[in-house]
């Protein structure tokens, strides 16, 4: 699964994205750009070293607090290099536009996107506008969830690449209602069931069974990325 959730603030997309991630039943890792998810866990992680240890420990939900990071583009490359060492997890990238642009993809995110299917990983991104997401990532997406989208330019991208009808349906959606566009079939549904996926983001999640990712021996190309990320962090 490669999912994209698009919509303006306070429409429910981040909460829905968390529910979607948890529903995979895998270990969940969250790139938290604005302290949206820090209260759902006992303690977020702040460094790639702590991220690696939490993955090894099998923490069911890991929140990486990126709030104080100045260069999020480069930090995400280091973040992704750690995730490259594990298979069988679900990654939620909140405010994904912070680490990429349509014509400026993030090398780390790009690698995770390309490899997710064959390595048993799922990937979910949230953003305010489709223009914030690298073009290739939009192309590889399997499911797109459109919350309220008053931005015409963003809707035009959806109309051109996916469906004009789906884009039009998202123009004036009320909060917590979304259009689920099935990228492979071109079909879409308007879904109004917030009670089914609401999660209080100000409270810790109920205890979950540990669902550890599988630690793998990095492939030769992976070692090069991990080594470069480590060197960059030490400089």
CATH classification number, 2-234, choose in 3.40.50.1000, 1.20.140.10, 3.40.50.300, 3.40.50.2300: 3.40.50.300
**Residue 38: what pLDDT?**
95
Q: pLDDT digit string (tens) for 18-37?
A: 999 999 999 999 999 999 99
Report CA-CA distances (Å) from 141 to 97, 113, 132, 145, 209: 15, 9, 14, 11, 29
**Residue 3: what pLDDT?**
94
Residue 127 three-state SS: strand
**Residue 226: what pLDDT?**
44
Sheet order of strands, 188-191 included:
61-65, 27-32, 89-93, 122-127, 2-6, 143-146, 178-182, 188-191
Burial class of residue 57, CB neighbours in 10 A (0-12, 13-18, 19+): exposed
Q: Look up residue 99 and give its two tokens.
A: 């680490």
Nearest Cα to Cα of residue 69 among 46, 92, 91, 97: 46
**Residue 67: what pLDDT?**
92
Kindly give the parts of the chain with pLDDT less than 50.
220-235
**Residue 233: what pLDDT?**
45
Whole-model pTM: value is 0.87
**Residue 145: what pLDDT?**
95
**Residue 162: what pLDDT?**
85
């Amino acid at each position: 699964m490669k999912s994209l959730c698009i919509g303006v603030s306070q429409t429910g997309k981040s909460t829905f994205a968390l529910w979607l991630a948890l529903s995979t039943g895998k270990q969940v890792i969250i790139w938290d750009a604005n302290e949206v998810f820090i209260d759902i866990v006992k303690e977020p992680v702040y460094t790639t070293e702590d991220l690696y240890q939490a993955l090894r420990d099998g923490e069911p939900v890991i929140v990486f607090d990126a709030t104080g990071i100045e260069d999020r583009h480069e930090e995400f490359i280091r973040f992704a290099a750690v995730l490259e060492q594990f298979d069988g997890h679900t990654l939620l990238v909140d405010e994904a536009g912070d680490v990429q642009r349509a014509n400026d993809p993030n090398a780390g995110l790009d690698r995770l996107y390309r490899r997710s299917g064959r390595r048993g990983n799922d990937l979910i991104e949230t953003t305010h506008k489709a223009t914030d997401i690298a073009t290739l990532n939009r192309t590889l997406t399997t499911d797109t969830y459109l919350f309220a989208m008053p931005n015409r330019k963003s809707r035009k991208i959806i109309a051109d690449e996916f469906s004009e009808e789906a884009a039009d349906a998202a123009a004036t959606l009320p909060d917590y209602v979304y259009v689920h566009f099935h990228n492979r079939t071109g079909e879409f549904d308007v879904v109004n069931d917030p009670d089914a996926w609401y999660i209080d983001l100000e409270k810790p999640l109920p205890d979950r069974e540990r669902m550890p990712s599988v630690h793998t021996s990095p492939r030769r190309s992976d070692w090069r990325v991990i080594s470069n990320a480590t060197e960059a962090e030490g400089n």
